[in-house]
Amino acid sequence: MSNIIQLLPDHVANQIAAGEVVQRPASVVKELLENAIDAKASYIKLIIKEAGKTLIQVIDDGVGMSNTDARLSFERHATSKIKSAEDLFHLDTKGFRGEALASIAAIAHVELKTKQEGDEVGAEIKIEGSKITSQEACVTPKGTSICVKNLFYNIPARRNFLKSNAVELRHIIDEFHRVTMAHPDIRFDMYHNGSEIFNLPVSNYRQRIVNIFSGKTNEKLVPISEETDLVTISGFVGKPEYAKKTRGEQFFFVNHRYIKSPYLNHAVNAAFEGLVKEKTHPSYFIYLEVNPETVDINIHPTKTEIKFEDEHALYAMLRSTIKHSLGQFNVAPILDFDRDATMDTPYEYKNKAAQIPKVEVDRNFNPFKESSSSSAGSQSSGKSSFSSFKKESAGNWENLYVGLESEDPITSPTEAKTEKEEGFSTIEFESAEVTGSLFEDDEKKDLVHQNTYQLQKKYIVTTIKSGMVIIHQHRAHQRILYEELLRSITMASSVSQQLLFPLKISLSKTEMALLDTVKEQLENTGFVFGDDNLGELEITAIPSVVGEKEVGTLLEQLISDLENDVPDSGFSQTDALAKSMAKSIAVRTGTELGAEQIQYLANSLFACTEPTITPDNKTTFITFSVDEIDKKFF
């Protein structure tokens, strides 16, 4: 029997490796930026065109490569980072597999220019689909410039799986954030289609975070710091009141490498327990420094998941560090038994006795005495004034009843006399007419709504010919709003309400990129946007069905939904927008409704094209026939 196992050609092996290394343009950006950092660059520029599908270029001023190294860098498993298996546990660099450039060159057109310091000329290499088309000397500045063009040009099926430009750009920005936040000592610039997206100068960790996520981020950050033999913890957590429904601003870095760790994320959430609302997530930017021998970063292809030697101790330290910082900066209540010197009594008041306050009372004051009697009483003694008060007060009380027998109970004798002197015979008073129809109107109103009422501030109960209907008020309103919004977006016939003062909402670059994907649909619902400057979105008008206080929650929920499931275009995008907005502004469970609101919900629900289910396929109402009710009594 003939042998059936054979070695794969290099270009096939590279394409298989590319499926693991390069999933989308953002994967290429990550690998190239990490290579530039490993080359000890102090300035890195990222240039993107059409969300990386046409061009990804990374320029750095690092150490560069020689002609031989430039050629070998595109071979599989060729690396300068490790030489033996033991080196995997002493890594202080980003890339070490030696598969990145080989995998990228297998599925794109690559141009590399590099030069070392001291060399007169550099090297230029052009590769198409793992095949070197040219290699020659060139004039180039110190460092490396690598261009990746026409990604997946030779694998059309993979290219068809790429999302829209807005979605792919968002993933690129995410990777850019993860790399730049770990290295504030390096200057980064990013350009997309000729426009500057980021300009990040050399700074510290806090300033780098603020430069990335807009200027208002600074007031949201609470610093954390702890140093032990096991780990050094530093970084920042967001204040509880700024917790969001999205997980976009949650970052862990271990030895300057971005990682994902559900276990450590649980430690952070445990520290914020009781401080944030349900289904909201606090922001955090946490940097961990551990001994490289105590972690294994070679357990996942993308190297974003690592294994710690002592996870339980790390969990406890991280949780206690965050709780301590929240209490130290008066964000959370604490029990502090240390004496506060500012609460001590000043030295000169220490032995001083307390003074009893003196209260002076005018014993001759009487609010019922007339001015003449009060002046006379002030001149007399206390006993005589008291007796005169008793006599005069009786006469004063009798004067209160004078004029009550007159025809006009409101006009006093003095006022009547004044009116006669001024020549007015009558005077009219404008007042609301009281009729006997008020009770009758309420009776009629009750007759209209006697078959529809609210139950437990959650359900609406009404009757039908065959029995009764129980409607879930939140789900019913969600279905009504969904169809109204869908109609407004499709027909672009929405009604806007102009705001007296424009709303300004602070958003990150990633969140702005997400909203740009549905900005046209939002405008069709009734939103009117102004200029967005310095990470602030200005809103000058909102839809008539949305309250001004609900705008922030609505956009936050929308960003969360888009982040979890970003549709490409067309109806799916419109549908996702209408679902998210309806979910945000629908009346909540526990809201007490008036009779008109109850009737509106019941009537509007059964006027919908699909009243039985919500946009998320949940039941909106249930029915009970008379027979089913009768069976309950058997």
Average pLDDT over residues 414-434: 49
Query: For 10-24, 426-440, 441-455, which range has the lowest pLDDT when averaged over its residues?
Result: 426-440
In DSSP terms, which residues pair with 619 in a beta bridge?
A: 613
d(CA 599, CA 445): 12
Which tops the pLDDT comparison, 205 or 85? 205
**What pLDDT is attached to residue 69?**
86
DSSP code, position 356: P
Token pair 């909102």 is found at 542
CA–chain centroid gap for 545, Å, is 22
* Strands annotated E in 99-220: 109-115, 122-128, 131-138, 143-149, 187-192, 195-200
d(CA 319, CA 591): 37
Q: Is residue 159 a contact partner of residue 108, using CB atoms and an 8 Å limit? A: no
Torsion of CA 235, 237, 238, 241, to 10 degrees: -160
Give the full edge-to-edge strand order of the sheet including 536-543. Answer: 496-506, 536-543, 528-529
Average pLDDT over residues 304-325: 88
If pLDDT is split at 50, 70 and 90, which confidence band does 336 have?
A: low
C-alpha closest to that of 40 among 81, 70, 69, 89: 81
Rounded to the nearest 5 percent, the helix, strand and coil shares of the chain are 40, 20, 40
**What pLDDT is attached to residue 103?**
85
Q: With H, G, I as helix, E, B as strand and everything else as coil, classify residue 7.
A: coil
**What pLDDT is attached to residue 473?**
93
* Strands annotated E in 118-160: 122-128, 131-138, 143-149
**What pLDDT is attached to residue 116?**
92
Q: What domains are defined for the chain?
A: 10-200 (3.30.565.10), 207-328 (3.30.230.10), 365-429 (no CATH), 452-623 (3.30.1370.100)
Residue 442 phi, psi (nearest 5): -60, -40
Which amino acid is residue 332, in one-letter code?
Answer: A
Instruction: Calculate helix-pair angle for 25-38, 165-182, nearest 10 degrees.
Output: 20
H helices of 539-594, in order, are: 551-564, 571-585
Q: Is residue 94 a contact partner of residue 35, using CB atoms and an 8 Å limit? A: yes
First to last CA, the chain: 79
Q: Is residue 413 a contact partner of residue 406, using CB atoms and an 8 Å limit? A: yes
**What pLDDT is attached to residue 309?**
83
H helices of 307-370, in order, are: 311-328
* Strands annotated E in 260-374: 284-290, 295-296, 307-308
* Whether pLDDT at 110 is above 90: yes
Give the full edge-to-edge strand order of the sheet including 452-455. Answer: 452-455, 459-464, 467-472, 621-625
pLDDT tens for 442-498 read 443 443 345 788 888 899 998 888 889 999 999 999 999 998 888 887 776 677 888
pLDDT tens for 188-219 read 999 999 888 899 999 999 999 998 887 678 88
- Tokens linked to 560: 């969360």
CA–chain centroid gap for 107, Å, is 37
Query: For 276-285, 294-303, 328-337, 584-593, which range has the lowest pLDDT when averaged over its residues?
Result: 328-337
Cα Rg, the chain, nearest whole Å: 38
List Cα–Cα distances, 524 to 270, 382, 486, in angstroms. 42, 82, 10
* Whether pLDDT at 382 is above 60: no
- Top mean pLDDT of 49-58, 336-345, 488-497 is at 49-58
Mean pLDDT of all residues belonging to the chain? 79
In DSSP terms, which residues pair with 112 in a beta bridge?
A: 125, 146
* Whether pLDDT at 350 is above 70: no
Give pairs for 585-591: CB < 8 Å, separation 24+: 585/481, 585/545, 585/546, 585/547, 585/550, 585/554, 586/474, 586/475, 586/477, 586/478, 586/481, 587/473, 587/474, 587/477, 588/474, 589/457, 589/458, 589/473, 589/474, 590/457, 590/458, 591/457, 591/473
DSSP code, position 383: H
d(CA 522, CA 540): 13
In DSSP terms, which residues pair with 469 in a beta bridge?
A: 462, 623
d(CA 51, CA 34): 19
**What pLDDT is attached to residue 367?**
79
DSSP code, position 1: -
d(CA 377, CA 386): 8
**Burial per residue of 440-454, b for 16 or more beta-carbon CB atoms within 10 angstroms, e otherwise:** eeeeeeeeeeeebeb
pTM of the predicted structure, to 2 decimals: 0.69
